[in-house]
A and B are shown apart, each in its own frame.
Chain A
Amino acid sequence: MTINSSGLPLKKILILGGGVGGTIVANITARRLKGNAEVTVVDKSGKHVYQPGFVYVAFGDEQINNIVKDERSLLNKNVKLITKEAVKIDPKDRKVLLADGEHLEYDYLVIATGSRIVSEEVKGLKEGAHHFYEADAAEKLRQALQTFNGGRVVVGVGGLPYKCPPAPAEAACQLDYYFTKRGIRNKVQIEFLSPLPRVFPLEAVNPFVTKIFEEKQIAYRTFFNVDYVDPQAKKVYSLEGESVDYDLLILVPPHRGAKVIEDSGLGDRGGWVPTDKYTLKAKGFDDIYVVGDATDIPISKAGATAHYEAKVVAENIVAQIKGYGDLRAYDGKVRCFCDAGFKKGISLSFDYTHPPKPPSTLTRSAYLGKVILNKLYWWTVPSGRF
């Protein structure tokens, strides 16, 4: 047992996942509880990925090595990093089993395991569709786009839920920009498939995005929830009974929660942890917090969500260890920027009680907000100071 300067045992904070949420919780708790807690991050890869950069890799504007860093380099020096896979959580005995058989004990567990891509859940998706949600896939899409010289590009959503709800619409706008820059926009038809009754998930913003699509001549089809893809016939079929032909298909793949959640019996049918949307505690547990994609909270799965959730969780763990109990509640805050191409964009900000305000126009400042975040992310967000 490790003890602090007062002779009391150090509290063990164990964080599963070294993404944006896990890293912020680790850094804030390590700073605030210096000498009074042992903070450990367990991450299978030991790499931290800035996932909003994938779409730029696909369109040839970014390189993978600029959006992936060693997790160690982003962590406070008092945080211990274990680059191994967590395979089982035992909440009763407050232990986590690693793939090599090692057990880690905890006083507070933070599940920040993100989501995993499960393309195999939609027949034909892996063979027939591209996406930009993983490094290899973004690179493959970049190559496919480079050699595409005309025809029908279909872009949409292959399964719910998925990370970053605006991403498919953003990709459609980026396609318009990309083919315009290549001088072949008049040879390319872009069609957008939305699983919802509108093109943009946030209703308040939808009329604006629909107008943008119309101006950019991006055709769209609503209530198209992908059932399966036929790569030979180059057709995508919907649960609602429709089909669409394509020459190049880009579909956001379906997501599930992490395997360790499912294997520990802590997830719902999608592998997401039932979580109190205010306290961010796993329902039924007082010592397990959940941040980011891993929760079942029906709000955006995105780094922008994990960012704000992580601060609440970190502050509450600090308060608990200091004996004050939970002090803060998560209010559903999310803020993000969307790049609409041609160096313009929109910014969105909302919470549980305030829907986003509809933008009136695309702005250079929102685009610059995104560019600046992309560049400054590594020095700002993971530290938990911003």
Chain B
Amino acid sequence: MAEMKVSRIVDARGSFCPGPLMELIRAVKEAQIGEVIEVLSSDQGSKRDIPLWVSKAGHILLSVAEKEGYTSFLVKKAK
């Protein structure tokens, strides 16, 4: 469970796409390899954009969880 420890939460709820994705890219760039970032987004476009970017950039999407009124994405920086 240690590797699931979230080192940073990006609360982008209320921001329209690409706000949440831009915040994630920024957070991943600033993070160390192995760190886990949680992004909270209420924008529907994030469900498509965030997994696409994570895959293209070679990081790991640990989970996508539907919450009340928003989605939580857990992303691990892999390189």
**Chain A contact residues, CB within 8 Å of chain B:** 159-161, 195-198, 201-203, 223, 225, 239-241, 269-270, 277, 297-299, 332, 350, 352, 355
What residues on B are CB-neighbors of A197 within 8 Å?
A: 21, 48-49, 52-53
Q: Decide: A298 near B23, CB < 8 A? Known: A203-B45, A223-B52, A240-B57.
A: yes
A239 to B53, CA, bound (A): 11
Q: A52: shortest Cβ distance to chain B, in Å?
A: 21
Interface range on chain B: under 10, 10 to 19, 20 to 34, or 35 or more?
20 to 34
Q: Decide: A239 near B29, CB < 8 A? Known: A203-B45, A298-B23.
A: yes
What residues on B are CB-neighbors of A225 within 8 Å?
A: 25, 29, 57
**Chain B contact residues, CB within 8 Å of chain A:** 10, 12, 14-23, 25-27, 29-30, 45, 48-49, 52-53, 56-58
Q: Let me know if A160 and B14 touch, CB within 8 A.
A: no
Q: Let me know if A196 and B49 touch, CB within 8 A.
A: yes
Q: Let me know if A195 and B22 touch, CB within 8 A.
A: yes
| Shortest 6 CB-CB contacts between residues of A and residues of B | A298-B15, A298-B19, A160-B26, A298-B12, A269-B30, A196-B18
What residues on A are CB-neighbors of B29 within 8 Å?
A: 159-160, 225, 239
Q: A352: shortest Cβ distance to chain B, in Å?
A: 5
A135 to B79, CA, bound (A): 36
A222 to B45, CA, bound (A): 16
Partner of A350, one of B16, B20, B22, B48: B16
A224 to B20, CA, bound (A): 17
In chain A, what residue has the closest Cβ to B50? A197
